[in-house]
Amino acid sequence: MNCIDEFVVVNFLSDDEIEIGTTKRADRVHILDLPAHFDRASSFLAVRSRREEKRLPSKLPIVDISLLSVFIFPTGESAILKEYIDDFSISNGENALEYLITHVSKKSGFDRIEELWEREGRFESKIISNALLTRASVTRIEEKENKVMGKRVTKLSNVFGDNGTLSQILKGYEARMPQMDMAGCVSDALVNDRVQFIEADTGTGKSIGYLVPLLLAIRDNDSKAIISTKTKVLQDQLIDKDIPIVKDAIGNTSNLKIHLLKGRSNYLCLLKAMNSMNEGRQIGLEGDVSSQMWLAFLERWLSDTKDGDIQSINERARDYIDVNKLRFLTSSKEDCIGRYCPFKDRCFLLKERQEARNSDLLVVNHSLLLSEHVMRSDTDDLCILPPADYLVVDEAHRFADVAMSTLGHDISYKESKNFINSLAIFDEKTGRSKGIMSECFLSIFGKDAKKLTRESERFDTVLKRILEREDTLFRGIEGENTAPWKVQYNDMAEELELTLKECIDIMINIEGKLDDKIENEVNTENDVVLLLRVKNVIEKLDNWAECLHLLINGEDNVWVKYIEWREGEPSLHIRKIDIAEDISDIFDSYRSVILTSATLNINSSFSFVTSQLGLDRWEEDRKARLGFSILPPVFNYSKQALFLIPSDIEEYHYEEWGYERYITSISRILTSLISKVHRKTLVLFTSYRDMNAVLSNVENEGYNISVQGKDGNAQEVIAKFRGTGSNVAFGVKSLWEGIDLPGSSLEILIIVKLPFDNPRNPLTNKLNSLKGFGNYMLPRMILDLKQGIGRLIRKLDDKGIVLCLDNRVLKKSYGNVVIHSLPEGMGVKVARWKKCLRTIEDFFKE
Ligand code: SF4
């Protein structure tokens, strides 16, 4: 076998010039140490190539795949490249080289590399000047994909093509290549039992992109699927809009059972509602106007609603009725008596769960999916999810976060205190007791009520002691809402654990006595119901006891323990550091899993999301199931958007001495922008501290600004901003994703600071120290940044500016990673603020 060493040479001459060539003269080119991250400053890269002449007569150089992978995927991810090569089953070298060309072109914004490739069939050393990226390479890839997918693509093109069924249903429909790519990719993954990650840009229409092949597979193969999303908004959009469109487009779907299931607390509990209405009448609430309205509303709504979902109460009703009151009347695990409930035949929750179990396609949220998998049981009532062949995880960039919190344990001070106190309140004077368990106590367990009251008081006192200590230590620091659990609290936690165990023992005692009573007496229906409630209470107390046990004994390399304050309420938390096993178990339950989002890759690598889910540690044969795709962008970012960084911005300082100067500098920029450029502007902060400090400077100018927190929650602020209410909105982290502001409803997006997680947060701190900044904090920030930027361009004719006020992009070594992760083609401009301002004005004049 005659092997010839060759080299592909990529020479970055300057920011605007690139040289690419090959040479057979190995002695004249040295393989350089490849930089950990792509870095133009290193200016020169040579990749060794190897051609086996007999087998591959092509003149093209054959590139060493593993070396090339290091260049293309600096963090070590080579799966995409392998998959790409496998898919097209042409010579590795040709393919790999082409991939390199495409990537270098995209990263650098050079397209003449493509032309040279086309015209000359090989590379010569040439200087290629700055030019815009064309879609030539993308088109060629799509042609190849079509060849590979053959028959199946024909079927999909009947739906997606220019004259496909979607064009007959959707007004103004235009076939979008990335959407077809998405459908082809999903179809392929379903057929080949893959765990497929797909990043699809905003505007791809990815829901329809995956729904078409999914519904085809369900319809044609008699299979079942579950779709999991992070937000209710997307669930509603799937059920109300996208699924009906796809059903129409593919036809013959009237027999498919499709269902949306939400968490238990979304559904009204009829038992509680009836009790509440009866109590209201008994204590004469009918005389009070607002109570009358409330009772009338409840009666009316109960006769109207089909699913008992309290979210479905319309906006108008919300103006008159305190819908929050309904929260007390929704189903809860500890109160539900299931088949012993007098309303079991009409119960919304049981009905919804039954439909969910029988459905062909079930839509749920991440938290419900994960908790059901964790507690999965084969016993009737408890198993909610139907056994399914396929799982689609939409908004997959948040799946690992939700998994961590679902697989952890929490004790909320308010909830636990109220719950334990409500079990029994023993009145010394009358010798009677009230509370959830009062029925038990009144009849036979008076002594237990007394003991339980004592224990619940002890629980309250000790928990308060821990939290008050933390309160004075940490809450003085503005903007901080978490504190690590400390070993010195273990004594108090042990006391709490002991108290809980006492409560559990009392309940177990009651459980035993009830069991005896049921066995020996005839009329026991009431006792059976009581017994069920006792069991529910024990389960809940057991969970808290488990949380306390782990807080005291959980190993620090397995668990992260911390205290958090949210809306003034403290809570205790424990999170599992490694969720790999749980995620693997979940993924193994499905033939194929699709994970999709607009933000999954960083510099063409999926290594961060796979490591978050622990898939990077899968054995090789399991890893073979993994697939990765990045779909081409829909928008022309080079024309539609610009990323601006003022070079004269102050550096951020947390400490007071530099903080004020920093805030003043941000405020000045915002003031001049708002007064000169009258465009819809969304300002995204990373903390309330920064937002409020800037606001106190800017609001003196008399601008009409909608402010998250001050003017309502995220949705309320966006509603006001979307209308004519205000031209500027200030928001914190919850506005960085999930909001849709197309067209002129958002034209300038300001990133005040790069959205790094707070390093003082114990969970962030722990994971960062274990995985390292480059593998944890940085990629998390990049994905959040991409989400934030994704708010700006939502339609083909949108235009907008991203103004980044964080000069770390210019000064820190990771600035390059930030720039390279911007949407493909988006121009970047660095200039002094005055010049930036002129650029913004000119940009909107064009
Ligand atoms: S079965 Fe449970 S949720 Fe349903 S009405 Fe009865 S108690 Fe409420």
The response to whether residue 273 sits with its C-beta less than 6 Å from ligand 1 reads no
**Higher local confidence (pLDDT), 398 or 25:** 398
Q: Quickly state the pLDDT bin for 816 (edges 50, 70, 90).
A: confident
**Higher local confidence (pLDDT), 845 or 37:** 845
Task: State the pLDDT at residue 292.
Answer: 72
Closest CA to 636 of 826, 810, 791: 826
Tell me the C-alpha distance between 95 and 79, whole Å: 14
Average pLDDT over residues 745-761: 93
Nearest CA to ligand 1 atom 1: 338
Task: State the pLDDT at residue 833.
Answer: 94
**pLDDT at 251 > cutoff 80:** yes
Average pLDDT over residues 164-175: 88
pLDDT in tens, 384-426: 888 999 999 999 999 999 999 999 999 887 787 777 766 665 5
Nearest CA to ligand 1 atom 6: 341
Tell me the C-alpha distance between 9 and 145, whole Å: 28
Q: Quickly state the pLDDT bin for 123 (edges 50, 70, 90).
A: very low
Tell me the C-alpha distance between 68 and 493, whole Å: 54
Nearest CA to ligand 1 atom 2: 336
Could you write out the DSSP letters of every residue in 290-306?
HHHHHHHHHHHHHHH-S
**pLDDT at 190 > cutoff 90:** yes
**pLDDT at 138 > cutoff 50:** no
Q: Quickly state the pLDDT bin for 512 (edges 50, 70, 90).
A: confident
The response to whether residue 269 sits with its C-beta less than 6 Å from ligand 1 reads yes
- Between 22-31, 190-199, 303-312, the lowest mean confidence (pLDDT) is in 22-31
Nearest CA to ligand 1 atom 7: 336
Query: How many Å lie between the centroid of ligand 1 and the Cα of residue 466?
Result: 36
The response to whether residue 393 sits with its C-beta less than 6 Å from ligand 1 reads no
Average pLDDT over residues 440-457: 63
C-beta neighbour count of 759 within 10 angstroms: 11
**pLDDT at 225 > cutoff 90:** yes
pLDDT in tens, 277-305: 777 665 555 556 667 777 777 888 888 88
Task: State the pLDDT at residue 52.
Answer: 37
Nearest atom (ligand 1) to Cα of 344: 1
Task: State the pLDDT at residue 312.
Answer: 78
Could you write out the DSSP letters of every residue in 597-650?
ES---BTTB-HHHHHHTTGGGS-HHHHTTEEEEEPPPSS-HHHHEEEEEETTPP
Domains annotated for the chain, with CATH where assigned, are 3-139 (no CATH), 176-257+359-407+579-632 (3.40.50.300), 264-355 (no CATH), 409-576 (1.10.275), 637-845 (3.40.50.300)
Nearest atom (ligand 1) to Cα of 264: 3
- Between 14-28, 339-353, 585-599, 638-652, the lowest mean confidence (pLDDT) is in 14-28
Q: Quickly state the pLDDT bin for 519 (edges 50, 70, 90).
A: confident
Longest dimension (CA), the chain: 101
pLDDT in tens, 532-575: 888 888 888 888 889 989 999 999 999 999 888 776 677 889 99
Average pLDDT over residues 620-639: 89
Average pLDDT over residues 614-628: 90
Dihedral (Cα; 594, 596, 600, 603), 10-degree rounding: 80
**SS3 call for 70:** helix
Q: Quickly state the pLDDT bin for 230 (edges 50, 70, 90).
A: very high
DSSP state of 813: T
- Between 207-211, 350-354, 720-724, 804-808, the lowest mean confidence (pLDDT) is in 720-724
Task: State the pLDDT at residue 707.
Answer: 92
Task: State the pLDDT at residue 523.
Answer: 59
**SS3 call for 119:** helix
**Rg for the chain (alpha carbons), in Å?**
30
Q: What are phi and psi for residue 322, nearest 5 degrees?
A: -80, 95
pLDDT in tens, 14-24: 444 444 444 33
Query: How many Å lie between the centroid of ligand 1 and the Cα of residue 522?
Result: 25
Task: State the pLDDT at residue 781.
Answer: 96
Alpha-helix residue ranges (DSSP H) falling in 202-328:
206-221, 232-237, 243-250, 270-282, 289-304, 315-320
Average pLDDT over residues 207-223: 93
Buried/exposed code over 377-398 (b: 16+ C-beta within 10 A; e: otherwise): eeeeeeebbbebbbbbbbbbbb
**pLDDT at 79 > cutoff 60:** no
Task: Please report, rounded to a whole number, the percentage of residues in the chain having pLDDT higher than 90.
Answer: 35
Task: State the pLDDT at residue 94.
Answer: 47
